[in-house]
Amino acid sequence: MSKIFVAITCGISLLQNLLNHDSFRDHLYERFNIDRSIAPSAILRNRSILDMIYRDCMVKEDTTRLIISILREDPTRYCAELNSLIKLLNAVDDFEICRVYLYSSNTRSCNICSHVLSRFIVDHLKEIVNKNGNIEVKGISAIPDILSGKYSEALQKLAEGFVREAYRHVRQGFDLYTIITGGFKIEIAYITVLSFLVRSKIVYCPGPDSDIVILPPIPIDLDHEVLKICEKIASGEISEKEKIETLKRYGLVSQKNGKIVLEKWVSKLIEARKWNSTY
């Protein structure tokens, strides 16, 4: 039987959908003394309320248990990421193991969703999908919030975490899938390109009543000449000026204190790519 690795970009669909659930809404208003004049949609923008929900999920877990009980009613309707994962696992052949890795923006709302999603996958997903293989969560990677302006740091973290794990699992004989149903669009765009580099299939599902779409990977690769130049810059060597100008236009390098340096996310991408045994 096969082994599969599933990377999932994690958004906040779970919280958005739960705020339309009467029991969950009432629980929030009562447990956290929230003024009922505050609209449910405003809760997602209120950092202090989200902080209280997060602490409750991580420590006392009353809110986590309530969310999981609601999810067990209909996980495909309440959570876009679970909807895609469940339909993916039902669509593929029997597997020995499914290893899941979550990529979540480091915001309170995403932290809550990824934490609960991880718990649900580990504790309850196997009883829902019609498969005998083990299902586990490998980890949760918290990506810096792109909307805060830390896009370079976010791309660095995403490139390092995703490509390294993907190559490691390829070398262990895993088939790769990337679910891009949830998360910020810019994260989805970037991880899609990274997925093509590591030959991962792309999985998307537009809604609970829709079939999943599984796209085959496009066999693209990084320009080897560009890679060599980047590696020389990383090691302190100086390359031709006209090539440096080209790399600047690509956004791969910048000039700091009179020195040409690689952007950090490029360094991490090259470093992570070296895990590939064919490179």
CA–CA gap between residue 39 and residue 45 (Å, rounded): 10
**Confidence class for position 101, pLDDT limits 50, 70, 90:** very high
**What percent of the chain shows pLDDT beyond 90?**
48
Distance separating the N- and C-terminal Cα atoms of the chain = 27
Flag the least confident range among 17-26, 213-222, 231-240: 231-240
pLDDT digit string, tens, across residues 28-84 = 999 999 988 888 889 988 999 999 999 998 887 788 999 999 999 999 999 999 999
For 132-165, what is each residue's pLDDT tens digit? 899 999 889 888 877 677 777 888 888 888 988 9
Hey, what domains does the chain have and what are their CATH numbers? 2-11+75-215 (3.40.50.10770), 224-273 (no CATH)
What mean pLDDT do residues 240-244 have?
71
What distance in Å separates the CA atoms of residue 246 and residue 226, rounded to the nearest whole number? 9
- Would you state the pLDDT for residue 272? 65
Average of pLDDT values for 261-279?
Answer: 68
pLDDT bucket at 262, cuts 50 / 70 / 90: confident
pLDDT the model gives residue 131: 86
Q: What integer pLDDT is reported at residue 277 of this predicted model?
A: 45
pTM reported for the whole predicted model: 0.88
Q: What are phi and psi of 233, to 5 degrees?
A: -65, -40
> Are 119 and 37 spatial neighbours (Cβ–Cβ below 8 Å)?
no
Query: What backbone torsions phi and psi does residue 245 show, to the nearest 5 degrees?
Result: -60, -35
**How far apart, in whole angstroms, are the C-alpha atoms of residue 137 and residue 217?**
23
Question: Which pLDDT belongs to residue 229?
Answer: 81
**Better pLDDT: 272 or 256:** 256
**pLDDT of amino acid 153:** 80
For residue range 186-217, list pLDDT tens digits in order. Answer: 888 889 988 998 899 999 999 889 999 999 98
Mean pLDDT of the chain: 87
Q: Which one, of 141, 187, 182, lies nearest residue 165 by Cα?
A: 141
- Which pLDDT score is estimated for 279? 37
